[in-house]
Amino acid sequence: MTVVCLGDSTTAGTPLFKSPVETPPHGEGDERSSFPYWLRHAHPEWRVANCGVNGERTDQIAARFDRDVLAASPAAVTIIAGVNDVYQGRSAESVIVQLAQMYDRAFTAGIAVVAGTIVPYNTATADQNARMHAINNWIKAQAASRKRFLVADTRAAAADPANIDRLSGSPDDLHPDTNGYHAMAEAIQPLLERSL
- For 133-164, the pLDDT digits (tens) are 999 999 999 999 999 999 999 999 999 999 99
The domain total for the chain is 1
Please determine, for residue 128, whether its predicted confidence score (pLDDT) is greater than 90: yes
CA atoms within 13 A on the CB side of 97: 8
CA atoms within 13 A on the CB side of 182: 10
pLDDT at 50: 98
Rounded to whole angstroms, what are the CA distances from 47 to 81, 128, 131, 134? 21, 35, 34, 33
pLDDT at 91: 98
Please determine, for residue 196, whether its predicted confidence score (pLDDT) is greater than 90: no
- Percent of the chain predicted with pLDDT > 70: 100
Which residues, including other chains, have CB under 8 Å from residue 101's CB and lie 6 or more apart?
A: 62
pLDDT at 109: 98
Average pLDDT, rounded, for the chain: 98
pLDDT at 156: 98
Provide mean pLDDT across the span 83-99. 98
Residue 88 to residue 86: CA distance in whole angstroms = 5
Q: What letters, b where the CB count within 10 A reaches 16 and e where it falls short, cover 171-193? A: eeebbbbbebbbbbbebbbebbe
Note down the domain range covering 10: 2-195
Residue 125 to residue 92: CA distance in whole angstroms = 15
CATH code at position 105? 3.40.50.1110
Q: pTM here?
A: 0.97
Contact 39, 48 (CB under 8 A): yes
Provide mean pLDDT across the span 84-109. 98
pLDDT at 51: 98
